[in-house]
Structure 1
Amino acid sequence: MTGAVRAEGAPTGPGRGAGTPLDGVRVVELVDESAEYCGRMLAGLGADVVKVEPPDGAPSRRQGPFLDDVPGPDRSLAFWADNVGKRSVVVPEGPDGDGAVRALVEAADVLVHTLRPDAAARRGLDYERLGPALPRLVVCAVTPFGQSGPWADFEADDLVLMALGGSMAACGYGPGPDGYDTPPLAAHGEQAWRTASTYAAIAVLAALWWRDVGEEGRGQFVDVSAHECSASMTEWHCMTYLCSGSVFRRGAHPTLTAADGRQVAALNPDFLGPHVFANMLAMLEDEGVAGPLSDPAFADPGYRAGHYGEVWRAMKRLAAANDGERLYRLGQGAGLPWGVIRSPEEVAGDTHLQARGHFVELDHPELGRTVRYPGAPFLAHGSPWRMDRRPPLLGEHTAQVAGEWGVTW
C-alpha cells in the first residue's frame, strides 16, 4: 500500500501510525452527502481520506443544524458528523478541477465517488480509463441503483430507497383489534445511505485485501447500489417469501408504558425456550403482579399462546408499578431483551457508552473549544480506531496534501 508521508506537526495519538488497519492508505473522496459516512469509516480505520470539494464547499456544509444556529461552511453539525477525521482539498470547477482530481487519484490507493457512468466518463474518472492506467487503484462508486440495469439512471433519496427496498413495508403498525393502522414508516437518519456507505467501506477493505494479500496484485471497480443495500435490510422478510411464499405483515413492536410515561421495548422471545417464560414468571411473582399466570397451565406453550392476553395484562401491571428505568432493569435481570426508549440527548449521557470510552473530545482551535463526538463503532485493541482529527475547514489541507502527495494543479 502507498506509504503516506506525515506532515510536520500532523496530529498524533492512539492509532495514528501505530497499527491502524489502513495506515498509509490514501483515499480520494469525491462524493455528495449520501456516501460521506463511507469515508468517515475508512478514516477511522486509519486511512488518509482527502475530501475533494468545489470552491463553495460540499453541499453538506450548507446542511443544518449549525453550531449555535449560525450558518457557515465550517459550522454544519451534519457535515461534522460524517467528515470527522478527513482532510479537505479545494479544486476549481471545470476541466482544471478534473485534472486536479486525476492528479490526486494517481497518487492514491482508493477513489470513492458518487458519479453515474456518464458523469464519470465526462470527467475522465471512469474505470475504463483509470483501470488500465492505474492497475492497483480501487474505485468504489456509490449510486442509488448501481452502474447498470434498467434503473441505473433513476433518481432516489433515502425515503425512495427505503420504499423500493422493502424496508418501509416492514415498519409501522398493522391493523389491530381497535382498527388502528398506519402507512409504512421510514426510519429516521438516512438509513439507506448509511447502509450503502457501510457496505462500500467493507467492499473497499475487501478490494484492498485482494490487491495486497491475494495473488492478483490489482485493484478493481466496486459498484455499490444503495437499492440493493436497502433490499438487504429486509432481514428475514424477503427470505421468508422466497422460501415459503408467506408475506410479512406489519405489526406493533411490544412496548410497555411505565408509571412515569416512559416507553420500554419489552420483547418476550418464547421461541428461545421454556426458560424465557419461567424467568419472566419468577420476576412477575416477585413483584406481586403475576395474577393468573401462576396457574401451572400457563407453563404449556400452546395454552399460553391461546391466552396471551393474560401475559400482556400481567406485564402492563408490572409497568404501571415501576418507572421506565427500573422496568427496563427488571426485564434485563430476568434475562429478557428489554430496554427503555431513550432520546438522542439521553444517549449522549449513557453511562455504559461512557464507561467504554465511546465519546471523544476533539479540539477545534478555530473555535477555542473542544467538541464531543461519537467515536468508534467497535473496539479493536490490536488495531485501534483512529479519532484524533476534527472535521476539516473548507480547503484547509489543499497545500499540505499537494506537498505530501507530490501533486500539482
Structure 2
Amino acid sequence: MPHIPISPALQRFRVLDLSRVRAGPTCVRMLADFGADVIRIEPPPGIDPNEAMFAADRWNGDFQNLNRNKRSLTLNLKREEGREVLRSLVEQADVVVENWRPDVKARLGVDYESLRAINPRIILASISGFGQDGPYARRPGFDQIVQGMGGLMSVTGLPGQGPVRAGLAVADSSTGLYTALGILTALLEREVSGEGQWVHASLLHAQIAMMDFQAARYLNDGDVPVQEGNDHPTSCPMGLFAANDGTFNLGAAGEGNWKRFCLVLGRQDWLDDADYATEKLRVRHRRKLNEVIQEVFREQSVAHWVDLLNAAGVPAGPVYSVPQMFEDPQVQHLQAARTVQAWQGGERTLISQPVTLTRTPAAIARTAPGWGEHTDEVLREAGYDDAAIARLHAEGVV
C-alpha cells in the first residue's frame, strides 16, 4: 500500500533511510512518527555480511521499535543499476540519512556534492562515530566505545570501582536525536534559501555534549568530575536512600527544598547546624548528613516517604525495574507504550514518542516493515513500469 501519513506535521517530506544499527534509525523514527514518508533502503538478503545483526530478525522488539512507521525497499548499491535507482529516488526526496564511512559515501555517490547535483534541495544527514574528517574519521564507532572516550564511563558507577558503562545507549540515542534536530533545522532554513545542505553529527561529539554540566565544570572551573555513585556531584542531599522495604531517590537540592525537607521530617536541628548552612557545606559534609538522614528513612516504607516528601514539595521517587516502570499509573496515563497491529499478524508493543504536539501529534500506525515489503510500490512511484521492476528483480538489483 502507498504511504499513508499518520500525522500531518511532516507529511510533505520524503526521507530515504540508508542507516542501520541505532543512531540513524532513532533519528529517522522521529521523522516517521510525525508523518514523514520514510523509505528504509537496505540490501537484498545475502549482500550484507552483517545482515544477521542489522536486518534479519525483524520481529524482535528492538528492531520493531526502531523501524516502525517506515516502508522497506531492497536495493543492491554495489550494482550500478542499484545506484541508478537510488539517484531516481533522490530526485523526489527531501532528506537522505546515512551512517557510512566517508570513503564509502564517495564511492557509492552518496556524498553531499553528488546528491546536490541531482537535487539541489536535498538534505544529507550523515552520522558517524567520530566525525566526517580528522584523525579518527575512518574508525568504526559503537556506543560503548564512545561512552568510554566521551567521558561518561569515568563518572558512572561507585567511587573507586573503575569505569562503568551506562545501562542504555546514551551516545547512539542522543546522536540520533541531535541529528533529527539538525534535519528539522535544515528543512526550516530551506524554506528561506530554497537550498539543501549537509547535516552531520558524530557519536563522540554527541556524547561530549551529553556530559553537559560535568564537562562545563572542568572547562571553566578546572573541576575534574569523578565517580560519585548515587550521589549528585554538586548537590546534597540528593541520592539513593534505603527505607525499611527497599530504596528510593531523594532530590532535596537547593535551599527551598532543603528547608521543606527538614521541616517535613521534623528536623529543625538540621537547619540550625552550621555544617549544613549552605549547599556547598552540605556537599562537603555529605557523608555525615547522609548517615543521619538514613537513620530516619529506615523507620518507614518507600511508599510512605515518597508520598510524604512529594506532598511537601520535595522531589522523591521509587527505583523501578522495567516491569514496575510500565505498571506505574503515571506511565500508563502518559501512554508511554502503544500496541500496534503487525504486518505479519499479531501485535507489537512499542515505545511512543515522548514529545506531544497538541494539534498534529505523532502516532504509531504500523510496525517495522518486512524485508523489501514495499519495493515494488516505491519503484512504481519513482516511475518504473512492471517490466522494468521485473527486470530489476531478475537481475538481483532489488
- The two structures have a TM-score, normalised by structure 2, of 0.86
- Tell me if the contact between 1:63 and 1:78 (Cα under 8 Å) persists in the aligned partners: no
- Quote how far apart the aligned CAs of 1:138 are: 0.3
Out of 143, 147, 159, the position equivalent to 1:158 is: 143
- Quote how far apart the aligned CAs of 1:60 are: 8.7
C-alpha root-mean-square deviation of aligned residues, in Å? 2.7
Superposition pairs of residues 184-203 of structure 1, within 5 angstroms: 184-203=163-182
The CA deviation string for residues 1-46 of structure 1, in whole angstroms up to 9 with x for no partner, is xxxxx83xx657xx53xx32x1121000001213211111110121
- Tell me if the contact between 2:336 and 2:352 (Cα under 8 Å) persists in the aligned partners: yes
- Tell me if the contact between 2:87 and 2:118 (Cα under 8 Å) persists in the aligned partners: no
- Quote how far apart the aligned CAs of 1:297 are: 6.0
Distance 1:130 1:299, change over 3 A: closer
Report what 2:38 is aligned to.
49
Alignment length (residue pairs)? 374
Indicate whether 1:400 and 2:389 are aligned.
no
Report what 2:70 is aligned to.
86
Q: Hey, what's the Cα distance between the residues in 2 that align with 1:308 and 1:117?
A: 49
Give % identity: 27
The range that moved more, 141-150 or 334-343, is 334-343
Which amino acid is the alignment partner of residue 382 of structure 1? R
The CA deviation string for residues 207-242 of structure 1, in whole angstroms up to 9 with x for no partner, is 111112x2x110011121211111111111222222
- Quote how far apart the aligned CAs of 1:339 are: 1.7
Indicate whether 1:123 and 2:108 are aligned.
yes
Q: Which runs of 5+ in 1 are unaligned?
A: 1-5, 65-70, 175-180
- Tell me if the contact between 1:61 and 1:79 (Cα under 8 Å) persists in the aligned partners: no
Indicate whether 1:39 and 2:23 are aligned.
no
Report what 1:239 is aligned to.
216
Report what 1:356 is aligned to.
334
Superposition pairs of residues 131-210 of structure 1, within 5 angstroms: 131-174=116-159, 181-210=160-189
- Quote how far apart the aligned CAs of 1:362 are: 0.4
Report what 1:177 is aligned to.
none
Report what 1:23 is aligned to.
11
- Quote how far apart the aligned CAs of 1:312 are: 2.2
Q: Hey, what's the Cα distance between the residues in 2 that align with 1:383 and 1:361?
A: 20
Report what 1:281 is aligned to.
262
Report what 1:68 is aligned to.
none
- Quote how far apart the aligned CAs of 1:264 are: 1.2
- Tell me if the contact between 1:55 and 1:93 (Cα under 8 Å) persists in the aligned partners: no
- Quote how far apart the aligned CAs of 1:167 are: 1.8
SS at 2:146's partner residue?
Answer: helix
Q: Hey, what's the Cα distance between the residues in 2 that align with 1:50 and 1:306?
A: 55
The CA deviation string for residues 244-279 of structure 1, in whole angstroms up to 9 with x for no partner, is 222122212221122223x2122321xx22x22221
Q: Hey, what's the Cα distance between the residues in 2 that align with 1:328 and 1:25?
A: 46
Indicate whether 1:317 and 2:304 are aligned.
no
- Quote how far apart the aligned CAs of 1:110 are: 0.4
- Quote how far apart the aligned CAs of 1:118 are: 1.0
- Tell me if the contact between 1:32 and 1:60 (Cα under 8 Å) persists in the aligned partners: no
Out of 331, 347, 353, the position equivalent to 1:376 is: 353
Q: Hey, what's the Cα distance between the residues in 2 that align with 1:334 and 1:327?
A: 11
Distance 1:365 1:239, change over 3 A: closer
Report what 2:61 is aligned to.
77
- Quote how far apart the aligned CAs of 1:372 are: 1.9
- Quote how far apart the aligned CAs of 1:147 are: 1.0
Indicate whether 1:387 and 2:364 are aligned.
yes
Which amino acid is the alignment partner of residue 103 of structure 1? S
- Tell me if the contact between 2:130 and 2:139 (Cα under 8 Å) persists in the aligned partners: yes
Q: Hey, what's the Cα distance between the residues in 2 that align with 1:200 and 1:242?
A: 25
SS at 1:383's partner residue?
Answer: coil
- The two structures have a TM-score, normalised by structure 1, of 0.83
SS at 2:291's partner residue?
Answer: helix
Which amino acid is the alignment partner of residue 152 of structure 2? S
- Tell me if the contact between 2:244 and 2:299 (Cα under 8 Å) persists in the aligned partners: yes
Out of 316, 320, 324, the position equivalent to 1:338 is: 316
The CA deviation string for residues 334-377 of structure 1, in whole angstroms up to 9 with x for no partner, is 3222221111222222211221233222012523x322211121
